[in-house]
């Protein structure tokens, strides 16, 4: 009897933890999109007003931003040290490097990748327009992510618990 209670408790705990883990992805995605938007705003300020090279701006951003976004800019700045690498290649390589560590969806990564295609190819004012366009796209994605978070975060938490209960009932 005690073994059954311990087993049932473990099943319930594991299913609940899984539900909480999945729900945290709904909470982290809008936060990470917002961090990228903040990073792009800072990058815009560095380019427009500080006249700072992209590598230096990336190093500064890597020190200011929270993980995993800071890892992106750290990796990007290190890749820019390689003299024969193109900016877009370094940008996309850095995106691929953090994809597994973020909760960003494919559409978020695609927006950032498209921005990387334009990075360093234009003068400061055209670059500013590209940054603003990317930020607008990311804002739309953030709104969608917040909507999904509102719809599904609590449901997934409860679903994990309820699935645990269902498994216990089926095993008894």
Domain assignment present for 19? no
The 10s digit of each residue's pLDDT in 69-117 is 999 999 999 998 887 788 899 999 999 999 888 999 999 999 999 999 9
Alpha-carbon span 114 to 112, nearest angstrom: 5
* Confidence (pLDDT) at 143: 96
The 10s digit of each residue's pLDDT in 6-42 is 999 999 999 999 999 999 999 999 999 999 999 999 9
- In order, the DSSP letters of 61-102 are HHHHSPTTHHHHHHHHHHHHTSTT--HHHHHHHHHHHHGGGS
Owning domain of residue 70 = 32-153
Average pLDDT in the chain: 91
- What share of the chain in percent tops pLDDT 70? 99
Count of positions (residues) in the chain: 172
Domain assignment present for 79? yes
* Confidence (pLDDT) at 100: 86
Domain count, the chain: 1
Domain assignment present for 113? yes
């Amino acid at each position: 009897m005690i073994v059954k209670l311990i087993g049932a408790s473990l099943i319930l705990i594991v299913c609940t933890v899984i539900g909480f883990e999945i729900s945290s992805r709904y909470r982290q995605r809008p936060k990470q999109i917002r961090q990228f938007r903040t990073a792009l705003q800072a990058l815009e300020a560095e380019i427009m007003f500080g006249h700072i090279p992209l590598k230096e701006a990336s190093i500064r951003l890597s020190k200011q931003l929270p993980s995993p976004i800071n890892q992106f800019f750290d990796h990007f700045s290190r890749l820019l040290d390689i003299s024969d690498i193109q900016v877009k290649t370094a940008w996309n390589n850095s995106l691929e490097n953090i994809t597994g560590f973020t909760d960003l969806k494919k559409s978020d990564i695609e927006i950032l990748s498209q921005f990387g295609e334009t990075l360093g190819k234009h003068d400061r004012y055209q670059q500013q327009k590209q940054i603003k366009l990317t930020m607008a796209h990311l804002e739309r994605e953030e709104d969608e992510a917040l909507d999904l978070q509102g719809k599904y975060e609590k449901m997934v938490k409860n679903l994990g618990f309820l699935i645990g209960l269902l498994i216990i009932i089926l095993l008894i």
